[in-house]
């Protein structure tokens, strides 16, 4: 009787450490593998080498999404993965854990000599972070058909190079088509990047969805005037209006439960110490897990902002910068992860993702779901990013068990 596949924990942890050395700054410990860079390529080559040990060939699509499949008895694939690009001076676990845990799951199945029902696959999406080239989650947007090859290749990065040039230079592009694979399920293990699981001492998070977001820019038009001679009454201070926008945004979160509202950027003109600001711009980031509540917040926010600005004699114009609907993950996959975690005796809770991930882009194109492990102090995108060895291995075990259960159905 073949042995039941299980994750080789020490090997997974060693792989995480080896990948973290690629692009690491020894002075800070931060890891930098910006999309389509030489470091990004080296990280992906490392993963391809791990898969080659399992007799799996890594293939690449036209923008460098990497994938490898171990065929099963039936047509259909359960795919798992994440990304290995990082932000500048990022951590060791964001994305890397999901890809290396998927490799560890395939290693377990390979070493057990098992034939699964559906095939099992590993995927590493390109440019999830969007630091060097916008938008983020570029690889998954491409797979689901929201971006085409020409538009991706023409994107200009912060260093002036296009994605096309960077792809040609790094040799990351291939000719295979990831989007045409018969994927029945996509599972992504990821660090939480938030404080909930660590704060509650819970082993794993079963992610039910991703909250929606709407971004606006407010243009505020008042009147610039002398700080010393203009009376306080009758001023039309655009910067004060921007401050009132921030105050009203915060007040709205008390009116609409579950709303997150952030004014993260303010600019004002002329921006001088002795002049009342004549014009200002600020951004507002609104997030909510329910589409209806998000829209209600959007309209309520605009009404509040107008009221506050009118009181100051400042004209306000609102422009929408981004709108992403909330995503609900596939209920069958969510419960498969939940069942697998329960069978391993892990404590768990359901939660929404606060950050964006490839899985949210793919849900609707492929049935998708996510699993989180705790992030110490909720920190990510930093050299301080940390998830314990136990958490990483537990997450990989749940991933493996869920993949096996789904492939057997």
CA distances from 178 to 51, 61, 275 (A): 17, 6, 57
CB nearer to Zn ion: pick between 173 and 370: 370
Residue 398 beta carbon to Zn ion: minimum distance, rounded to whole angstroms: 18
Between 94 and 293, CB nearer to Zn ion: 94
Dist CA 92 CA 105 (whole Å): 19
Q: How far apart are CA 307 and CA 312, in angstroms?
A: 9
228 φ, ψ (degrees, to nearest 5): -90, -30
Q: Which residues bind Zn ion (CB under 5 A)?
A: 94-95
Q: Which is nearer to Zn ion, 72 or 81 (CB)?
A: 81
Q: DSSP for 239-285?
A: HHHHHHHHHHHHHHHHHSTT-EEE---EEEES--TTEE--EEEEEEE
Residue 126 and residue 139: Cα distance in Å, rounded?
Answer: 5
Rounded least distance, CB 102 to Zn ion, Å: 14
Residue 66 contacts residue 44 (beta carbons within 8 Å): yes
- Which among 191, 208, 187 is positioned nearest to 401, based on CA atoms? 187
The CB-of-83 to Zn ion minimum distance in angstroms stands at 6
Nearer to Zn ion, 189 or 340 (CB): 189
Minimum CB separation from Zn ion for residue 128, in Å?
Answer: 6
Q: Measured from the CB of residue 85, what is the shortest distance to Zn ion in angstroms?
A: 9
* Closest by Cα among 96, 188, 15 to 386: 96
**The total number of residues written for the chain in this structure:** 409
CB of residue 372 to Zn ion, shortest distance in Å: 11
Q: Smallest distance, Å, CB 67 to Zn ion?
A: 17
Rounded to the nearest whole angstrom, what is the least distance from the CB of residue 405 to Zn ion in the complex?
25
State the minimum distance, in angstroms, from the CB of residue 25 to Zn ion: 19
Kindly tell me which of 94 and 338 has the beta carbon lying closer to Zn ion: 94
SS3 label, residue 265: coil
Closer residue to Zn ion (CB): 287 or 381: 381
CA separation (Å) from 352 to 59, 278, 323, 398? Answer: 32, 41, 18, 18
CA angle 331, 141, 191 (to 5 degrees): 55
**Residue 358 and residue 83: Cα distance in Å, rounded?**
8
Quick check: 369 and 405 in contact, CB under 8 A? no
Tokens 């939660």 found at: 351
Tokens representing residue 249 in the block: 């945004």
Q: At what angle do helices 96-112 and 38-53 cross, to 10 degrees?
A: 20
Residue sitting closest to Zn ion (CB): 95
Cα torsion 107, 109, 113, 119: sign: negative
Nearest to 396 by CA among 189, 218, 192, 187: 189
Measured from the CB of residue 97, what is the shortest distance to Zn ion in angstroms?
A: 9
With respect to Zn ion, which residue has the nearer C-beta, 63 or 99?
A: 99
Candidates 247, 409, 237; CA nearest to 340 is 409
Distance in Å, CB of 152 to Zn ion, minimum: 19
Our separate counts of H helices and E strands in the chain read 12, 16
Of 216 and 370, the one with the shorter C-beta distance to Zn ion is: 370
Pick 279 or 360: Cβ nearer Zn ion: 360
Specify the residue, 94 or 385, whose C-beta has the smaller distance to Zn ion: 94
Nearer to Zn ion, 283 or 363 (CB): 363
């Amino acid at each position: 009787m073949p042995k039941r596949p299980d994750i080789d924990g020490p090997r997974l942890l060693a792989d995480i450490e080896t990948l973290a050395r690629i692009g690491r700054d020894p002075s800070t410990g931060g890891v930098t593998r910006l999309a389509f860079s030489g470091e990004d390529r080296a990280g992906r080559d490392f993963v391809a080498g791990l898969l080659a040990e399992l007799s799996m060939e890594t293939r690449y699509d036209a923008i460098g999404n990497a994938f490898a499949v171990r065929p099963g008895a039936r047509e259909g694939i359960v795919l798992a993965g994440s990304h290995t690009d990082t932000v500048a001076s990022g951590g060791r676990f964001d994305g890397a854990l999901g890809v290396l845990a998927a490799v560890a799951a395939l290693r377990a199945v390979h070493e057990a000599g098992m034939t699964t029902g559906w095939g099992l696959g590993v995927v590493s999406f390109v440019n999830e972070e969007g630091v060097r080239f916008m938008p983020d989650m570029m690889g998954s947007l491409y797979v689901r058909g929201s971006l085409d090859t020409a538009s991706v290749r023409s994107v200009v990065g912060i260093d002036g190079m296009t994605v096309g040039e960077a792809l040609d230079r790094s040799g990351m592009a291939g000719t295979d088509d990831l989007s045409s694979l018969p994927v029945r399920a996509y599972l992504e293990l990821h660090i939480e990047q938030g404080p909930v699981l660590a704060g509650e001492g819970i082993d794993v998070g079963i992610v039910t969805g991703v909250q929606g977001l709407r971004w606006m820019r407010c243009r505020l038009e008042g009147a610039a005037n002398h700080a010393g001679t203009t009376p306080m009454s009758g001023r039309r201070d655009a910067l004060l209006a921007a401050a009132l926008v921030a105050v009203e945004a915060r007040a709205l979160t008390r009116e609409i439960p579950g709303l997150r509202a952030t004014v993260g950027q303010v600019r004002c003109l002329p921006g001088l110490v002795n002049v009342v600001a004549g014009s200002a711009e600020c951004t507002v980031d609104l997030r909510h897990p329910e589409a209806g509540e998000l829209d209600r917040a959007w309209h309520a926010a605009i009404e509040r902002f107008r009221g506050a600005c009118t009181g100051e004699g400042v004209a306000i114009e609102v422009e929408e910068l981004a709108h992403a609907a909330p995503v609900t993950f596939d209920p069958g996959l969510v419960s498969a992860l939940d069942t697998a975690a329960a069978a391993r005796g892990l404590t768990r809770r359901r939660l929404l993702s606060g950050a964006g991930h490839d899985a949210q882009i793919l849900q609707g194109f492929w049935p998708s779901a996510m699993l989180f492990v705790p992030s110490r102090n909720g920190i990510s995108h930093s050299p301080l990013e940390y998830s314990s060895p136990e958490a990483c291995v537990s997450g990989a075990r749940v991933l493996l068990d869920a993949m096996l259960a789904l492939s057997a159905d």
